[in-house]
Structure 1
Amino acid sequence: MSITHITSLSLEDITSELSQNILKERKNFPLRSITIVVPSVNMRSWLNLNLARISGLCANLRFLFLEKALEEYFHFRAGLDYDPFQRTFPSQDAIQRKILTFLIENLNSEETKFLGSFLESIPRAFSLSAKLTSLYKDYELNRSSWIQSWANEKGLDIPSISHRPTPFPKEDEYYLFQKKLYQKVFLNSNQPSTLIQFFLKEVFKNPRRSPQDSLHLFCLSNLADTYLGILESISKKDKLPIYLYQFHTGASTKTESLGPQRWSNPQIHISSKIVSIPGTISKNLEDTRIYPEKLSALKNLLKGEIRGHNVENFSGDFSVRFWNAPSSYREIESVANDILYKMNQDRTLTYLDFAVLVTDMKVYRPAVEWVFDGGILLQTKVDADPIRKKIPYSLTDINANEASLLYRGLMNFWEICSGNFVRKNDLLKLLRNPLLQKKIRIHSEDVQELEKLIETSGVRYEESGRENDTFQISNGLKRIRLSSILSQEAAWTKYKISQIPLESEEYSLHLTLFWETVLKVKKDILSFFANETIRWTSEYLKVVQTSIEELFEFSEEYEQEAKLFHSWLQSLSEWEGIQLQNPEQGISILKFLTEQVFNQIPYRKGAYLTGGVTISLLQPMRPIPFKHIYVLGLGEGKFPGSDDISQLNLRKHFREEWDISKREIQEFLLWETIHSAKESITFSYVGKNLQEDKTFEPCSHFLEIMEFLEVKDVVRLPLHSYSIKYEHTLRELKQGLVSYDFARVWVNGKRKDHPVLDRFQNPDELIKNHSDLSRSTIDVKELSQFLSDPLDTYLKRKLAMYLEEEYAEENEKEPFYLDAIEETHILKKVHALMIPDLVLEKPWVWDQEKIVQAVTPILEKEKFSAKFPASVFGKIQEA
């Protein structure tokens, strides 16, 4: 059988062709499960929705990623047993573990000598192992001739599938180091050590069984050289029907143009490689849909069809727009208002017709949640009451480390386990975690009171060897516990404890349980680090699991966190057997592993493609069509990124025709995105940083499109949604200069005639309402922070769940001096003793000796309450 190559610039047409091929296959094999290889989970979701809509296909379809599909295929082909739920070959985590073990064991070997002291730091060694793991897979996929040569030097046979060998880079220390490491770790037996090695060995063998399935590859981009060679081989040798659906024009010759049409060069290579295979059947589906003239001209440019166009015809065409925003927040806010305007003008539109694509989700996620979740206080008519309009949306491409409570809890706990020193702030961060609150049965509304109680106790840290220090956390909690059962007089006279006021005796119980749980779990985690050489066994990993389950509880409310916990445990199990030198290395590995695992786990909010406006990064969207698309963050340096110029990257010395850089991948994603827009596309960048008084330029791709369309000026979005610059002329509305914000009407309109004033002019409504709620209090520190930056303090207090915690540099050690407030507090007590003698007729007796006698018991109480410096610093303050 041959390869059938279907190309089109319409994803819907490609999907229709896919459904027809599946239906033909089902006529001959009605019970066969059809395998469809997809590039992402997002594409699988889109196909599930649209295959059912186009042809009613919804059952007996298997969506796999390419690597998994080939693994299953070659196992069946070789007559081997295959369990999709069991790994036959090491995962990327297991491969990284092997590399890190080699680096640790060969710290002073000849191969690593040139790295100097770099490997002595476990964070650096871990980072290097992650980089090498990625590079070795890259070499297997794009430099199989290197792998063949390295294997031959060891007397092993791993064939190369490239149609020509790639020249070797210069044999410097970086090349020799990577070659020796790969040979010692992955070329130590005739059996394949990695999944790609298994593919390379099996593809040249004759099949023991002939698979009867077909393979549908749907809109894959960046097909590596090894994968292309494998597909060519199995189509010829195994007579496997392969259908390759490509979002492309079908062109097979790379363009030498410097214009935007060059952005499709990565797909042109795939197309030319497939077309060159004998017997390939090519089919290009022309997109016959009619697009707005300006958008159509841009699409023709990207296809390489440069046609003459009259700029005057574009004067009333707003299908391609360019925005310059003062901030990412204003970008999102302008998008939200523009969506509401478009839906108001076209009643057939729904939220599902809009997509917002960003270049950096970390930058735009807070703004998205503030605007879309918080809503816009809008007024569509002058005499209408304002309403808060919330826009439903689905947010994808969030990494779990940005949103997971479990990730925050684990990272806080690893900090507590690092060394013999526990900081108070690390303990407070752990206490704020809802997963821990569920476990020790603390109500969320009591957390703030518990924090205040810890602050009142004066504790700062916990450190072994200083058990009698009043600033120790354990001693502070002991004072809190005794304060709940002893009277003030008994506590001081018998135990020298200054009583701490408690609003509820349960608070002391909660804190004691919390502290004992943390200490127990920490002890269990560190229990396996008693020996000089530490090896992670299955028993130890079981202890880690049990310990974390004692610390956090995953109720139904936090079902997603439970799934993340199991994913984390699964990745952790891949590191069984690693040997470390000391406890510090063990905790460091746990910390880096947690960060790496959660950084790789996708996290989403809302139902993708069905939950409202689709908000995503450029990459996983692929060419999914939408009527209106907004591409945000196209600033200079923000897009398309930079290439890997690391000394470790051996591919950079010689570029093959199939090599695709990170920059080219991003360019092609933009190329696809433009073709996926049906009615309009808006490009935007942040042109100002008002806090630092800086201006920025757009990226070169932004300017290229502007130049082609002969657009002289971009639309500058006003600084505020209530700006007077919003005049709402018809042209400005279509350009995107629209704001429904009620504040705009209130600030710039005739406020005296506004009906909203009636609400504040009724005397009956001015009667004070008495509330039964207790008065809330704030401390001086909070007040100081608010006065220095009101908005920042308000956001951190109210929206901490949305914002990333800032690790403020606070003085967590014992105080070396008294601040003005504490000093005033002590003087106030002394003055209370002195002032009554001012009205007496007796001679004034308050000399230095008398003052020392009065101050001494006060200072003694302050010291035992951990509110006065100790040791030599305390004596200086006393003087």
Structure 2
Amino acid sequence: MSAGNEPSSGLTLHASNRLEILARELARTLLPPLEDPFRKEIIVVQSRGMEKWVRMELARHHRICANVWFPFPNSLMEFLFDLVCPDLPPSPLYGRDHLIWLVMKHMVRCLKGPDFEPVRSYLGETPRPLKLFQLSERVAYLFDQYLVFRPDMILRWEKGRSSHWQARLWTSLRKEVPATHKAALRSLFLKRMADPAHAPGGLPERVSVFGISTLPPFHLEILSALSRHIPVHLFFMNPCREYWGDIVSGKEEARILVHREKRGSGDLHLLRGNSLLASMGGLGREFFSVLLDLETTGQDLFDHPGEESLLQAIQSDILLLREPGYAGHPPRTVKASDDSIQVHSCHSPMREVEVLRDRLLDLFEKYPGLEPRDILVMAPDIEVYAPYVHAVFGLRDDRIPAIPFSIADRSPVREGGLPEAFLSFLELPKGRFEAASVLSFLEYPAVRDRFGIAARDLHVIRRWIREARIAWGMDEKDREAHGLPPLRENTWRFGLERLLLGFALPDEETLFQGIVPMDRVEGQEASLLGKFAHFVETAHQATTRLKAPKSAAEWARALEDLLEDFFFIEGTEAYHARRLRAAWEALSRAETLCGFVEALDLDTVTAFVRRRIEEKVPARGFLTGGVTFCSMLPMRSIPFKVICILGMDHEAYPRKTERLEFDLMADAPRPGDRSRRKDDRYLFLEALLSARRVFYVSYVGQNTRDNGSAPPSVLVSELLDYISQGFAPEAGPQDTVLDQILIRHRLQPFSPAYFDPARTELFSYSAQDLEAARRLLEYRVEDRPFMERALDRPGPEWREVPLARLLRFFSNPARFFLRERLGVSLGGPEKALLNTEPFVVHGLDRYLLCQKLLEWKLAGKDLAGAYPLVRGMGLLPHGAGGECAYEEIRLGVEDFAMRLRKTVGAESSWEMELDETLEGFHLTGKVSELYGTALVHYRQARAKGRDHLLLWLRHLALTCGDTPQITQSILLTRDGCWTYGVLPGARKLLAAYLELYLEGLRRPLPFFPESSYSFARELLVERKGESGAIEKAATAWRGDQYRRAESDEPHYQTCFGNVDPLGETFQELALKVYGPLLEIQKKIG
């Protein structure tokens, strides 16, 4: 079974501090061809990223890499067990997914046993399915670990040598599934391989294990037994060429000394060696100790990295087991230009990524041969940084060179799209079918496409839902199922029927079979309404079906139907659809393979599906040619010229793992056991050793509120302490070497410090941030106006002024300027959808209802009989509360209508056309609300400054002629009645307002109807003086507990957010606009 002149058997260890050297040695080892040319070469790796790198290295050395199988360690074990123990095939039921259901089934059976008291106290006598599933999931994980890390314990259990509840559970499970598992196969494999005379046939000719930092004793025993028959090569990274199995960290030394002191032991020699290796290398130290106990031949392939840079010097210290700063190792000098180790303290993850981009651009400029594919960026959890990476590196700006990148290790759910949409639908049956949740589901592109709804249609649908007063529940039966009275108002059925009936019967004031039509569907929107109604009905039917418990196989069919009914699958979504289908195929096997026939509820099924589809696919996005962003995972020791680690915060790394209280391995740990903290420490060390030119670390070390400092990860602190102890700066401005290495960044990327030639440690490649920094230096931001200079005077066409335009201008001059002159429409925050039925009628709803009832009252309708119609609009609280609220509003409307009738008398309303030419302006339009010789405007609300102003402008327009037909104007509101008589200078005054309108077309005027009215009234009417008037205006501008701040209006924020808007110009305009009005205004009630 030899390949070429290679020894026919034996375990050979190839150790090096450089993975490139190991790859070269692997290529040399594979040169002798296998005897069977059709057999695949076997190279065991721990990740698909490592497989990809090894393939490229072998192709570089051999010009080709073909017919190679790259199994993971567990896959190799299964392959060998099949070869050596074909008479005892392993059962798939011992896979982790299947174990969950087996454990869950037997947990219920065993729960009443005397040994299960701890479990009963946790689950209760009648456990909830989800809680039972979650516990079974954790126990199944432990059983899977026991099979590998404690096979002897599993075998003892099966011989009845334990009364622990886990042992009882395992033996119960084994009675149903007597098939062979990994622990039993291991024993049989070792027994059969121990007899050279009976070597099984069909073994591979050669096996290589490459780049794996650690292996459990289980795997090492199998490989050692295999090496008695075939050559087995282990290629592993060893950071130190000296023996370092006995070195201890400072903490370990202290712990040992305390223990020895308590026991009264004698002298003890403890070797510290290199402190970084001692502190971070615990995982490797245990692994190498186990390897030394095996019968092996060794080959050391160490390479001195040199000491030209700080990074190389530290790597050399570790290689030589040397501690700097002690006797014989004086501090070494770090050149001022040395950037091989960089530590950056930032204010937020976003700033970390922004700083990283600038630093990478700097490295590309310094090192012309450096390419994006030579850079690896890791983070403890890449999901935290992925949005910022897309925002910063995905920005397309011609002034900043684009850096190609890819992000690996992302959860498909966190990437959005089909998995996220599918899981969001599984949450719908758990709620009340709320309007916001249903619409949120419809917003996913795959869902919209399935129902033929375009993205631009969503704002129309949102408006329909809001105006139809849809809150939650499909209909009255749905409400009743939630323990509430079976009322129809504010349900989906209620709103959809209003919309559909409104399209067929546009009269909104007619009650048709208990439904009030809502005329909001126009023209082509009828088709959209049909699609939307179909979507809602389909979604409700599906959520109803999902609420019922089902068997695992039934759930699999239901989930498949859900995928078919709600999602249009094409392109990249096809990949996610395959992952989803794999999830419920695994669920189906709970019944078909595991015999789990109990009914499952939706919560349990959702938890299982979520776990399956949230599993990350590490190979995706790794080594694609650009900068690779990925999570910090074990076995990421692939060498890169530049290795960057983000998120090295004190609490974030090393990552904490919650120990399960019933983890029997943790009660009696052994060498080779898995430890998240040891993994993380060794991973950091491997990253430090794998960087060839630059090792870059960043963390959130400053507070965004007060710039307070926060420490980095303890591993970063250890690295900085090591550097501070053993290295000194070159002659320069830095006091210590850490001043050169540790850079504290500013809160904002446009800080002028980044563009100060004297601050060489801070720099930026962003032209946009440079411009912002310049402006920051040129102006104080709070004094910078919206416009540096006014626009040119508008053309003559703007002197043709419809009255409606003039009123629109004075309602909000800033909004008018932005929209009409700059073409900027800010809109405003979209109103939120209802999530509950109304409990009171207030705000805008109350005002609109009062106006509608007043309109009906003036038209002669009996308001006492209009309650069913108003109730059918969904504005009122349900039940008796709604009746009381309506009666209160009705009485108020009746009273106001009486006041209005007294004001207008028996006169009927009429309209008047305007056509006036004055001072070069042509004013046209139509004025309504005329009663006899009076203009009467009424609102069932408190009077606002805007009400007075708009009435005043119409009053001037009606009375500016030579023979005005109007003798007075009246404003009637809930809190008073005001009159305005004919003013002799109305024509000249109106022209002044038109000139203000013309000026407002050149620049936004600091005129705000409410704040300006408060100032003018306080000064001219209340006579409180200028300071009192400014204080009153400021209250209106800023708002208080009783009124909304006028400054919150988006157009005002845009135009006046950076200046004091209540200055001299504001005061002059307030008096100019409101002064004449207040002079002639009379309050009569």
Residue 837 of structure 2 aligns with an amino acid whose one-letter code is: E
1:395 Cα deviation from its structure 2 partner: 0.3
SS at match of 2:114: coil
Aligned partner (choices 345, 350, 354) of residue 333 of structure 1? 354
1:177 correspondence with 2:181: no
8 Å contact kept, 2:498–2:515: no
1:311 Cα deviation from its structure 2 partner: 4.1
SS at match of 1:25: coil
Counterparts in 2 of 1:404 and 1:96: CA distance versus 1, 3 Å: farther
Residues 306-340 of structure 1, C-alpha deviations (whole Å, 9 max, x = no match)? 35353433443221122111111111100001111
Residue 33 of structure 1 aligns with an amino acid whose one-letter code is: K
1:738 correspondence with 2:738: no
8 Å contact kept, 1:424–1:461: yes
SS at match of 2:115: coil
1:818 correspondence with 2:841: yes
Q: Distance in 2 between matches of 1:285 and 1:728?
A: 48
Q: Distance in 2 between matches of 1:17 and 1:652?
A: 38
In structure 2, the residue matched to 1:261 is 277
User: Equivalences for 1:575-654 in 2 at 5 Å?
Assistant: 575-576=590-591, 585-602=600-617, 607-619=621-633, 622-654=636-668
In structure 2, the residue matched to 1:558 is 573
1:231 Cα deviation from its structure 2 partner: 1.6
1:394 correspondence with 2:386: no
1:749 Cα deviation from its structure 2 partner: 6.5
Listed as ranges, the gaps of 5+ residues in structure 2 are: 1-8, 194-198, 251-274, 725-736, 780-786, 796-817, 889-1085
Residue 635 of structure 1 aligns with an amino acid whose one-letter code is: D
Q: Distance in 2 between matches of 1:91 and 1:6?
A: 33
1:205 correspondence with 2:195: no
Residues 217-260 of structure 1, C-alpha deviations (whole Å, 9 max, x = no match)? 11123311211222222222xx1321111111464624213321
In structure 1, the residue matched to 2:450 is 439
Q: TM-score, normalization: structure 2?
A: 0.67
Aligned partner (choices 62, 66, 69) of residue 59 of structure 1? 66
User: Equivalences for 1:328-727 in 2 at 5 Å?
Assistant: 328-375=349-396, 387=399, 389-418=401-430, 421-462=432-473, 463=478, 465=480, 468-488=487-507, 492-493=511-512, 496-503=515-522, 504-525=525-546, 529=549, 535-537=551-553, 540-576=555-591, 585-602=600-617, 607-619=621-633, 622-690=636-704, 695-710=709-724, 711-713=737-739, 714-727=742-755
1:497 Cα deviation from its structure 2 partner: 1.9
1:478 Cα deviation from its structure 2 partner: 2.3
Q: Distance in 2 between matches of 1:31 and 1:471?
A: 71
Residues 142-183 of structure 1, C-alpha deviations (whole Å, 9 max, x = no match)? 2222112111218xxxxxxxxxxxxxxxx8xxx812221122
1:630 Cα deviation from its structure 2 partner: 1.5
In structure 2, the residue matched to 1:164 is none
Higher relative contact order by CA 8 Å / sep ≥ 6: 1 or 2? 1
Counterparts in 2 of 1:107 and 1:318: CA distance versus 1, 3 Å: same
SS at match of 1:204: helix
SS at match of 1:514: helix
1:261 Cα deviation from its structure 2 partner: 0.6
Q: Distance in 2 between matches of 1:582 and 1:64?
A: 37
1:324 correspondence with 2:345: yes
Aligned partner (choices 37, 43, 46) of residue 44 of structure 2? 37
Percent identity among equivalent residues?
19
Aligned partner (choices 96, 99, 102) of residue 98 of structure 1? 102
Q: Distance in 2 between matches of 1:116 and 1:579?
A: 24
Moved more, 669-678 or 296-305: 296-305
SS at match of 2:687: helix
Moved more, 463-472 or 61-70: 463-472
Q: Distance in 2 between matches of 1:180 and 1:692?
A: 57
Moved more, 737-746 or 652-661: 737-746
Q: Distance in 2 between matches of 1:509 and 1:609?
A: 48
Counterparts in 2 of 1:860 and 1:776: CA distance versus 1, 3 Å: farther
User: Equivalences for 1:6-155 in 2 at 5 Å?
Assistant: 6-26=14-34, 28-79=35-86, 88-116=92-120, 118-119=122-123, 120-153=127-160
Counterparts in 2 of 1:661 and 1:444: CA distance versus 1, 3 Å: same
Residue 513 of structure 1 aligns with an amino acid whose one-letter code is: H
SS at match of 1:726: helix
| Segments of 4+ moved more than 6 angstroms | 578-583, 749-753, 759-771, 773-776
Residue 507 of structure 1 aligns with an amino acid whose one-letter code is: L
Residues 251-303 of structure 1, C-alpha deviations (whole Å, 9 max, x = no match)? 4624213321122232232223223222x121121124446420112213434
SS at match of 2:221: helix
- Count residues in correspondence: 785
Residue 448 of structure 1 aligns with an amino acid whose one-letter code is: H
8 Å contact kept, 1:299–1:675: yes
SS at match of 1:357: strand
SS at match of 1:671: helix
In structure 2, the residue matched to 1:248 is 238
Q: Distance in 2 between matches of 1:216 and 1:139?
A: 26
Q: Distance in 2 between matches of 1:418 and 1:52?
A: 54
Residue 631 of structure 2 aligns with an amino acid whose one-letter code is: L
Counterparts in 2 of 1:561 and 1:497: CA distance versus 1, 3 Å: same
Listed as ranges, the gaps of 5+ residues in structure 1 are: 155-170, 378-385, 754-758, 783-809, 838-849
In structure 2, the residue matched to 1:383 is none
Residue 585 of structure 2 aligns with an amino acid whose one-letter code is: Q
8 Å contact kept, 1:554–1:561: no
1:833 Cα deviation from its structure 2 partner: 5.7
8 Å contact kept, 2:499–2:517: no
Counterparts in 2 of 1:189 and 1:615: CA distance versus 1, 3 Å: closer
8 Å contact kept, 2:410–2:617: yes
SS at match of 1:6: strand
1:635 Cα deviation from its structure 2 partner: 1.5
1:77 Cα deviation from its structure 2 partner: 2.4
Q: TM-score, normalization: structure 1?
A: 0.82
Residue 632 of structure 2 aligns with an amino acid whose one-letter code is: L
Counterparts in 2 of 1:330 and 1:89: CA distance versus 1, 3 Å: same
Q: Distance in 2 between matches of 1:364 and 1:687?
A: 16
Residue 748 of structure 1 aligns with an amino acid whose one-letter code is: R
8 Å contact kept, 2:704–2:747: no
* Larger Rg, first or second structure (1 or 2): 2
Residue 37 of structure 1 aligns with an amino acid whose one-letter code is: V
8 Å contact kept, 2:656–2:676: yes
Residue 49 of structure 1 aligns with an amino acid whose one-letter code is: M
SS at match of 2:146: helix
Counterparts in 2 of 1:720 and 1:854: CA distance versus 1, 3 Å: same
Aligned partner (choices 294, 302, 327) of residue 318 of structure 2? 302
Residue 398 of structure 1 aligns with an amino acid whose one-letter code is: R
In structure 2, the residue matched to 1:756 is none
1:211 Cα deviation from its structure 2 partner: 0.7
In structure 1, the residue matched to 2:863 is 854
1:187 Cα deviation from its structure 2 partner: 5.6
8 Å contact kept, 2:591–2:597: no
Counterparts in 2 of 1:576 and 1:449: CA distance versus 1, 3 Å: farther
Residue 218 of structure 2 aligns with an amino acid whose one-letter code is: T
Q: Distance in 2 between matches of 1:213 and 1:142?
A: 28
SS at match of 1:562: helix
